[in-house]
Amino acid sequence: MSETVSTPQKTNLLNLDSEGLKAFCASIGEKPFRAVQLERWIHRKGVSDFDQMTNLAKSFRAKLAEIAEIKGPEVIKDSTASDGTRKWLLDAGEGNAVEMVFIPEENRGTLCISTQAGCAMNCLFCSTGKQGFSRNLKTSEIIGQLWTAEHLLRKDRGITDENERVISNVVLMGMGEPLQNLNAVVPALKLMLDDNAYGLSRRRVTVSTSGLVKQIDKLAQICPVALAVSLHAPNNELRDKIMPVNRKHPLEDVLAACKRYLKYAPRDFITFEYIMIGGVNDSLAQAKQLITLVQDLPCKFNLIPFNPFPDSGLQRSKEEDVKAFAKRLNDAGIVCTIRKVRGDDISAACGQLAGEIKDRTKLSSRRAEREIVIKEISRLSQAPLE
């Protein structure tokens, strides 16, 4: 009979924020300053081999090699669009893969990262949502995206100075609903902000949510960063149909949570994302309703022309309709920008991130439901709103 030898699992240090690293070091009899040294080697320098951590005692390095590892997600595919936008497909185990996107601009570099394999929120207009939900990503897989991208990009550009960063902004706008995975997301956010890791300011780290009310309040308490809320409809009737989460957290509750968040937020406004879907939510009557809806809340709008994906059954708004909608908001004193479509030729735009998800939810019944909803919303948009 063969004997089964179980090897104890190594601790992946990418799962630990600075507090976690201190606790880990304490558990093996090492002082807190060792945790700081480790954090700097891992996150500031991007080193994963303990032997290269030359200011750590040899015995400590040997112990680390025995019980710990530094392992980011594995890159499966790496593509660059004609506009410089770069997308990576990352292995998330068990047949799942998630995506992250780097968007270079003149004076900043933004990394858009994923927080879940798939998404359970089932928004009608979203390719990730269409695939269903598989699992939450771990902290190591979330901060591992920034760790991988920052150090790969530095290497590509020949940057050796650890104070020179390529990524200046991080947005949690990839696959998944970040606030449904707060336990893993918060330590990752803390590392993004930590001076011994990435040292980003709270204003340059943005969490985007479909509007989970309790979790917005929780984020305000434990790690307030910039908040973007996906609004996408000016009334509950339409939002219920295109974002099922609205049936549980209607607009008035989401807006009240935004107001509470402002007391803790690093910015004095909330960003609202608003997809422009042709004939669904893009009329001037709907713009007017939106203005009334947010009149008591300091906010900015980011209009995102709908990015199509196979079998979405929806269309992007016409350019002139997007401009007219934006003008109506601007005229009412609301700052409003129209998001440029980036990385279109590699499907790296908002809501196009698909990865490969082994769905564990009822995909076929959801597909049938989608078809019914699409018929209903086109009827809704034809009815006069006022």
Q: Answer yes or no: 99 catalytic.
A: yes
Residue nearest ligand SAH by beta-carbon distance: 351
- Judged on CB neighbours under 10 Å (0-12, 13-18, 19+), 266 is middle
From the list ligand SAH, ligand SF4, none, which binds 188 (C-beta under 5 to 8 Å, kind-based)?
A: none
Strands 299-305 and 270-276: parallel
* Span of 117-125, 146-154, 216-224, 300-308 interacting with ligand SF4 by CB under 6 A: 117-125
In angstroms, give the least distance from the CB of 241 to ligand SF4.
13
| Identity of the amino acid at 143 | I
What residue ranges bind ligand SAH (CB under 6 A)? 125-126, 173, 177, 208-210, 230, 273, 275, 304, 306-307, 350-351
When asked if residue 178 is in the footprint of ligand SF4 (CB under 6 A), the reply is no
Q: Is the CB of 56 or the CB of 124 nearer to ligand SF4? A: 124
Q: Is the CB of 13 or the CB of 219 nearer to ligand SAH? A: 219
Q: Is the CB of 126 or the CB of 226 nearer to ligand SF4? A: 126
In angstroms, give the least distance from the CB of 90 to ligand SAH.
16
Secondary structure of the chain as H, E, C letters: CCCCCCCCCCEEHHHCCHHHHHHHHHHCCCCHHHHHHHHHHHHHCCCCCHHHCCCCCHHHHHHHHHHEECCCCCEEEEEECCCCCEEEEEECCCCCEEEEEEEECCCCEEEECCCEEECCCCCCCCHHHHHCEEEECCHHHHHHHHHHHHHHHHHHCCCCCCCCCCCCEEEECCCCCHHHHHHHHHHHHHHHHCCCCCCCCHHHEEEEECCCHHHHHHHHHHCCCEEEEECCCCCHHHHHHHCHHHHCCCHHHHHHHHHHHHCCCCCCCEEEEEEEECCCCCCHHHHHHHHHHCCCCCEEEEEEECCCCCCCCCCECCHHHHHHHHHHHHHCCCEEEECCCCCHHHCCCCCCCCCECCCCCCHHHHHHHHHHHHHHHHHHHHCCCC
Q: Is the CB of 13 or the CB of 173 nearer to ligand SAH? A: 173
From the list ligand SAH, ligand SF4, none, which binds 275 (C-beta under 5 to 8 Å, kind-based)?
A: ligand SAH
Asked if residues 46 and 150 have their Cβ atoms less than 8 Å apart, the reply is yes
Kindly list the distances between the CA atom of residue 310 and the CA atoms of 116, 127, 128, 316, in Å, as whole numbers in the listed order.
Answer: 21, 8, 12, 13
In angstroms, give the least distance from the CB of 279 to ligand SF4.
19
Q: Is the CB of 48 or the CB of 361 nearer to ligand SAH? A: 361
- The residue from 25, 89, 101, 121 that contacts ligand SF4 (CB under 6 A) is 121
In angstroms, give the least distance from the CB of 275 to ligand SAH.
5
When asked if residue 177 is in the footprint of ligand SF4 (CB under 6 A), the reply is yes
Q: Is the CB of 39 or the CB of 177 nearer to ligand SF4? A: 177
**112, 299, 336, 350: the active-site residue:** 350
In angstroms, give the least distance from the CB of 208 to ligand SF4.
7
* Span of 92-100, 121-129, 290-298, 355-363 interacting with ligand SF4 by CB under 6 A: 121-129
User: By rule CB under 6 A, what count of residues binds ligand SF4?
Assistant: 11
**Would you give the binding string for ligand SF4 spanning residues 200-229, x where CB under 6 A is met?**
----------x-------------------
In angstroms, give the least distance from the CB of 276 to ligand SF4.
14
Give the end-to-end CA distance of the chain in Å, rounded to a whole number. Answer: 78
From the list ligand SF4, ligand SAH, none, which binds 152 (C-beta under 5 to 8 Å, kind-based)?
A: none
Q: Which of 210, 129, 242, 225 is nearest to 175 (CA)?
A: 129
Q: Answer yes or no: 94 catalytic.
A: no
In angstroms, give the least distance from the CB of 249 to ligand SF4.
12
In angstroms, give the least distance from the CB of 117 to ligand SAH.
13
When asked if residue 176 is in the footprint of ligand SF4 (CB under 6 A), the reply is yes
**25, 30, 39, 99: the active-site residue:** 99
Of 320-339, binders to ligand SF4 (CB under 6 A) are: none
Return the sign of the alpha-carbon dihedral for residues 304, 306, 310, 311: positive
Interacting residues toward ligand SF4 by CB under 6 A: 119, 121-123, 126, 128-129, 176-177, 210, 230
**Which residues have a catalytic role annotated?**
99, 350
